[in-house]
Amino acid sequence: MTIAQISVHVHALAVLLSLIGFVLRGIWMLKDSPRLKARWVKITPHVVDTVLLLSGVAAAYLMFWRHGVNPDYVTVMIVGLLAYIVLGLFALKLGKTKAVRSSAWVAAIVLFLYISAAGGMKTATPFMAAPSVAAAQAGAH
Ligand code: HEM
């Protein structure tokens, strides 16, 4: 296995752990659970998200950037990660009311699933018809 492939696998594992952790913390936030204040609950997400970012950047460099290429779905992942961090901050820290916090939490999860679909399907528009299908549909009218 190449280092690029190892990076992508580490990245995918960090993606899964990040989502599970974020969903759990959101549920604890909604239930006002004291678990949210536990030391490991505060530290682990930073470790997981750092691994997610570094493995993603390593994979992007090894697979694309060093060849002077940047696929659109990698841009989706970078911009998406920034937006996910901001929404996550509002969901778990900055949101003043539970309505704001829970809306930000749901939006962050939807965004995360979109970014994952873009990465997994290697396209910035994962839920749109493939070009050939769109062309066939356009031709049918
Ligand atoms: C919330 C943030 C992110 C999520 C949810 C996410 C999700 C994913 C997923 C699900 C995959 C597919 C893994 C597989 O095929 O096994 C992937 C691949 C990848 N990600 Fe991310 N990612 C994120 C952020 C980033 C960032 C910041 C970078 C760095 C620039 C990055 C670079 C990559 C690269 C290079 C691949 C491999 C693409 C390929 O195989 O063509 N990702 N990502």
How confident is the model over 109-123, as pLDDT tens digits? 999 999 999 999 999
For residues 138 and 4, give the distance between their C-alpha atoms in angstroms, rounded to a whole number.
39
Which candidate, 63, 42, 41, 60, places its Cα nearest to that of 52? 60
pLDDT tens by residue, 25-80:
999 999 999 999 999 999 999 999 999 999 999 999 999 999 999 999 999 999 99
Ligand 1 pocket member 105 (CB < 6 A): no
Q: Is residue 78 within 8 Å of 47, Cβ to Cβ?
A: no
Q: From CA 31, how far away is CA 125, in angstroms rounded?
A: 35
Q: What is the pLDDT of residue 119?
A: 96
Q: Is the CB of 104 under 6 A from ligand 1?
A: no
Return all residues near 126 (Cβ < 8 A) that are at least 6 apart.
114, 117, 118, 120
Q: Is 101 in the pocket of ligand 1 (CB under 6 A)?
A: no
